[in-house]
Amino acid sequence: MEEKVYADLIEKLKQKDIRGFIQEIKDKNEMDIAEFLTELPDDKITIVFRMLPKEIAAEVFACLDIEKQEKIITSITDKEIEYIIEELYVDDAVDMLEELPANVVKKVMRNAKSDTRKLINQFLTYPENSAGSIMTAEFVDLKKNMTVRESFERIRKIGEDKETIYTCYVTAADRKLEGVVTVKELLLSPYETVIEQLMDKNLIFAHTTDDQEDVIELFSKYDLLSIPVVDKEDRLVGIITVDDIMDVMEQEATEDFEKMAAITPSEKPYLKTGVFTLAKNRVIWLMLLMISATFTGDILMRFEEAFSVVPLLVALMPMLTDTGGNAGSQSSTMIIRGMAVGDIEIRDIFKVVWKELRVSLIVGFILAIVNFLRVIIMYPESTAVAFVVSISLFATVILAKTIGCTLPMLTKACRLDPAIMASPIITTVVDACALTIYFSIAVAVLHL
């Protein structure tokens, strides 16, 4: 919403021009109204929320974040709660209830009608990140013996409250999914056509227990607007719409970013996460990695004499380990991301290793040459050291890229999340290898 409109609404509220306020706000997008409410001082939110026309109140409520929802729920009447919970799509209701404290959940559920309560309770049982946990129950179902005309009548009658009307689902008497038909097909067909002739029987659907990542893949592959979700008996129990899938895509990518930076993922946005939660999500991985680095220290202690004699070897260490870590992280990032979006499969492992090997030969060679020149320019007396570190760099880059591409694929093959085999772990592993190579070559070449 523009600044001017915002200021105008505030002005109307200050002058207690409620009628003018409602007149102005009722045509706004519900997301903009929710943003407007969020900017208000806490004690005003509920007051202004209650001024909203009934028909938009539930939609605006669904756009608010959980803190504001809780504030409103705890200060409105039971009747108002009943209205909101009945109007909310079941997926939005479930999202909210999963976050609210138990006593508030009780208050909400007490006010829901028995059918809604049953539905919500059923939806609450689906495991996290499953198709069931993100689906909603508001879809248009048709029967295959209906005509296009009858279908339109049904859509007109029940369509208002459905999350999408553009894809309709054809079910049998036992609620088994038989086909899908789009409103586009209905619109482009004569009124007397029977749905059975129009419907697509090549069903693309998900099971309630499918992982949400698999559902994302179906959406991207088939360019869907919604997907039906069936239970174990192939009965249609819900649908997932593309707007919810976009949120899930964003959330999954964020989780991968966090895992790849050695952070335990959290669902809440950064600014709303407490300091202790943030610290907890980070310290565990940092500690594991710190303790793993003990190995590297051990390796170094074995070469104590070498670096006491030639201190330049120590000065060049960070360059070597950082470059190795970066080279390995590049490979692991590309492979992890490639597997996440479905471009790379486990069966491609040999293709990948062969490719990385050739890339690392080129990259390693160029870096080694540049590094050799740099070292002899800066330390003209130390050609032998320059030689040692450049050879080590070459070997390290090759090793780092090989480790960087194989570890994520092996992790995936073990059915673990490859995203953990990212920069932090790769760096630690590569460090140990790089330093072993480096000092072994140094001892041999420099006769230390």
174-233 binders of a copy of itself (CB under 8 A): 183-184, 187-188, 200-202, 204, 219-225
- Supply the minimum distance, in Å, between the C-beta of residue 114 and a copy of itself: 28
> Which residue's CB is nearer to a copy of itself, number 34 or number 108?
34
Asked if 3 interacts with a copy of itself (CB under 8 A), we say no
Q: Which amino acid is at 406?
A: T
Angle at 268 between CA 52 and CA 89, to 5 degrees: 40
Would you count residue 373 as binding a copy of itself (CB under 8 A)? no
Q: Write out the H or E segment, with its range, that includes residue 280.
A: helix 275-302
Between 111 and 396, CB nearer to a copy of itself: 396
Is 392 among the residues that bind a copy of itself (CB under 8 A)? no
Backbone angles phi, psi at 421, to 5 degrees: -85, 50
315 binds a copy of itself (CB under 8 A): yes
Between 28 and 117, name the residue whose CB sits nearer to a copy of itself.
28
Burial of 81 (C-beta count, 10 Å sphere; 0-12/13-18/19+)? buried
Using the contact rule CB under 8 A, the part of the chain among 108-116, 130-138, 155-163, 205-213 near a copy of itself is 155-163
Angle between helices 18-25 and 3-14 (to 10 degrees): 150
Q: Which of 76, 105, 278, 376: binder of a copy of itself (CB under 8 A)?
A: 278
Q: Which stretch binds a copy of itself (CB under 8 A): 36-44, 110-118, 227-235, 365-373?
A: 365-373
Residues whose CB is less than 8 angstroms from the CB of residue 314 and which lie 6 or more positions away in sequence, other chains included: 307
- Contact status: 398 vs a copy of itself (CB under 8 A): no
| d(C-alpha 99, C-alpha 70), whole Å | 9
**66-75 and 102-111 helices cross at what angle (nearest 10)?**
60
Contact stretch for a copy of itself (CB under 8 A) within 12-20, 85-93, 113-121, 295-303: 295-303
* Furthest-apart CA atoms within the chain: distance in Å: 94
Return the residues of window 157-176 that contact a copy of itself according to CB under 8 A.
159-160, 165-166
Closest to 341 in 3D by CA, of 160, 157, 216:
216
| Count of residues engaged in binding a copy of itself, rule: CB under 8 A | 114
Near a copy of itself in 243-272, by CB under 8 A:
243, 245-247, 249-250, 253-254, 256-258, 260-263, 269-271
Nearer to a copy of itself, 183 or 194 (CB): 183
Report, in Å, the least distance between residue 155 CB and a copy of itself: 6
CB of 5 or CB of 194, closer to a copy of itself: 5
Q: In this complex, which beta carbon is closest to a copy of itself, that of residue 57 or of residue 313?
A: 313
212 burial type by CB count under 10 A (0-12 exposed, 13-18 middle, 19+ buried): buried
Does the protein bind a copy of itself through residue 412 (CB under 8 A)?
no
Would you say 117 or 355 has its CB closer to a copy of itself? 355
The CA-based dihedral angle spanning residues 387, 388, 390, 394, taken in that order and rounded to the nearest 10 degrees: 130
Residues between 428 and 447 with contacts to a copy of itself, criterion CB under 8 A: 428, 431, 435
- Give the integer Cα–Cα distance in Å for 372 and 382: 10
Q: Compute the least distance from the CB of residue 107 to a copy of itself, in Å.
A: 28
Residue 108 vs 395, nearer CB to a copy of itself? 395
Member of 7, 286, 384, 416 binding a copy of itself (CB under 8 A) = 286
Amino acid present at 36:
F
Three-state DSSP state, 172? coil
List the 236-241 sheet strands across, edge first: 206-207, 226-230, 236-241
Contact range with a copy of itself by CB under 8 A, out of 49-57, 64-72, 118-126, 335-343: 335-343
User: Which residues share a beta bridge with 136?
Assistant: 239
Tokens of 440: 């072994």
Q: Which is nearer to a copy of itself, 74 or 281 (CB)?
A: 281
Show contacts with a copy of itself in window 18-77 (CB under 8 A).
27-29, 31
Q: Which H or E run contains 169?
A: strand 167-171
Let me know the angle formed at the C-alpha of 424 by 419 and 427, rounded to the nearest 5 degrees: 120
Place of tokens 């200050």: 14
